[in-house]
């Protein structure tokens, strides 16, 4: 049985955290409308080489919903509180979707003293809203229409969204499992975080990342298109490595778990203990 831990944040929210294994700490930060269970294929595979730590973000899963604190500063502070409460040092931070944004804001607010390296997967970075200086972004009306639809039938959206971030061959049971994670989240929290995801410009935070960074992205990602997100992130972070998974959708942590686990195992092995400034070759030469 895993250890269980309830971590109290600076504003009184309770975060549900768990961990397995021993060795270098790897902290997994899940995305919007998910929960820490989505990392089960990674924690089951990697707990023999690392201390795998997961937690549900506020308003999600088994964590509490304080009704506020859904901006990136607060979410980054929640991550800082998890690292402090568990006395995590020289950690590999692994984020999916919204998680990478929390990581880069954490580094901006709290520094890299507790971090050896980061892995940014299917990143909702660096800025996805269409503006005058970000003409390739997505128009704000699309997000506004989507949020309006959520107030009428959120379960239907979550079911359709779960299917869209997986593969056609993914089982109906897995699709339903992903959708249930969203149903367990607070709708006000999801709406507030959607504003955060779509309206926060993280280009300065992203460009300031100075720890070894692995960017993993699928070229079939519809939620965070590769050209808008992953490629830009890799270009902005000096010395980072970009690995593109052919045919992988947004939820590649599920659909491409075996390959991802191999890449994470390799990365963890190369970045155990104090961080090194030397860039590495992309795993199995799949950089683009």
Give catalytic residue positions: 97, 221, 250
Report the distance separating Cα 247 and Cα 205, nearest Å.
Answer: 29
């Amino acid at each position: 049985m895993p250890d269980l831990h309830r971590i109290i944040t600076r504003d009184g929210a309770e975060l549900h955290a768990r961990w397995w294994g021993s060795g270098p700490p790897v902290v997994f930060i899940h995305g919007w409308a998910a929960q820490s269970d989505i990392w089960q294929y990674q924690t089951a595979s990697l707990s023999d080489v690392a201390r795998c730590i997961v937690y549900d973000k506020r308003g999600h899963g088994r964590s509490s919903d304080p009704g506020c604190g859904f901006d990136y500063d607060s979410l980054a502070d929640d991550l800082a509180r998890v690292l402090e409460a568990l006395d995590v040092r020289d950690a590999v931070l692994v984020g999916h979707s919204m998680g990478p944004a929390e990581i880069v804001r954490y580094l901006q607010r709290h520094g890299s003293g507790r971090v050896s390296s980061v892995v940014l997967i299917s990143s909702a970075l660096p800025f996805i809203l269409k503006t005058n200086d970000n003409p390739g972004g997505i128009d704000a009306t699309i997000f506004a229409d989507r949020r309006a639809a959520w107030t009428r039938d959120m379960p239907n959206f979550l079911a359709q969204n779960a299917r869209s971030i997986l593969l056609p061959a993914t089982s109906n049971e897995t699709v339903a499992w992903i959708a249930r994670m969203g149903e367990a989240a607070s709708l006000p929290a999801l709406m507030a975080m959607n504003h955060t995801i779509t309206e926060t410009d993280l280009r300065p935070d992203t460009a300031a990342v100075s720890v070894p960074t692995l960017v993993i992205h699928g070229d079939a990602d519809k939620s965070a298109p590769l050209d808008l997100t992953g490629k830009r992130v890799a270009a902005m972070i000096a010395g980072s490595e970009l690995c593109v998974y052919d045919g992988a959708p947004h939820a590649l942590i599920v659909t491409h778990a075996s390959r991802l686990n191999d890449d994470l195992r390799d990365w963890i092995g190369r970045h155990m203990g104090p961080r090194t400034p030397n860039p590495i070759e992309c795993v199995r030469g799949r950089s683009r």
